[in-house]
A and B are shown apart, each in its own frame.
Chain A
Amino acid sequence: GAVVSQHPSRVICKSGTSVKIECRSLDFQATTMFWYRQFPKQSLMLMATSNEGSKATYEQGVEKDKFLINHASLTLSTLTVTSAHPEDSSFYICSARDGGGKSEQFFGPGTRLTVL
Chain B
Amino acid sequence: ELKVEQNPLFLSMQEGKNYTIYCNYSTTSDRLYWYRQDPGKSLESLFVLLSNGAVKQEGRLMASLDTKARLSTLHITAAVHDLSATYFCAVVYTGTASKLTFGTGTRLQVTL
A-B contact count (CB 8 A): 45
Enumerate chain A residues within 8 angstroms of B41, measured Cβ to Cβ: 109-110
Instruction: Tell me whether A44 and B88 are in contact in the complex, defined as CB-CB below 8 angstroms, given that A34-B99, A101-B98, A102-B31 are known contacts.
Output: yes
Chain B residues within an 8 Å CB radius of A42:
105
Question: How far apart sit A108 and B40, CA to CA, in the bound complex (Å)?
Answer: 13
Query: What are 6 contact pairs spanning A and B, CB under 8 A?
Result: A41-B107, A43-B103, A93-B42, A95-B100, A105-B100, A110-B42
Beyond known contacts A93-B42, A97-B98, A107-B42: 20 more, CB 8 A cutoff: A32-B98, A34-B100, A42-B105, A43-B88, A43-B102, A43-B104, A43-B105, A44-B43, A44-B88, A44-B90, A45-B102, A49-B99, A95-B100, A101-B97, A104-B33, A104-B45, A107-B45, A109-B42, A110-B41, A112-B40
Nearest chain B CB to A95's CB is how many angstroms away?
A: 8
- Residues of A near B99 (CB, < 8 A) are 34, 46, 49
Q: How far is the CA of A74 from the CA of B112 in the complex (A)?
A: 46
A112: nearest residue on chain B (CB-CB)? B40
Indicate if B91 sits at the interface (CB-CB under 8 A): no
Dominant SS among interface residues on chain A: strand
Counting chain B CB atoms within 10 Å of each CB, the highest count among A45, A95, A101, A103 belongs to A101
Q: Give how many A residues have a beta carbon under 8 Å from the other chain's beta carbons.
A: 23
Cβ proximity bits A75-116 to B, threshold 8 Å, 1 near / 0 not: 000000000000000000101010001111111111010000
Within 8 A of B (CB), among A28-68: 32, 34, 41-46, 49
Q: A102-B30, A107-B42 given as contacts; is B98 within 8 A of A46 (CB)?
A: no
A90 → B minimal CB distance (Å)? 13
Chain B residue numbers with a CB within 8 Å of A110 are 41-42
Decide if B48 is an interface residue (CB 8 Å cutoff). Answer: yes
Which residues in B have their C-beta under 8 angstroms from that of A102?
30-31, 98
Residue from the set B43, B90, B99 with the largest chain A CB neighbour count within 10 Å: B43
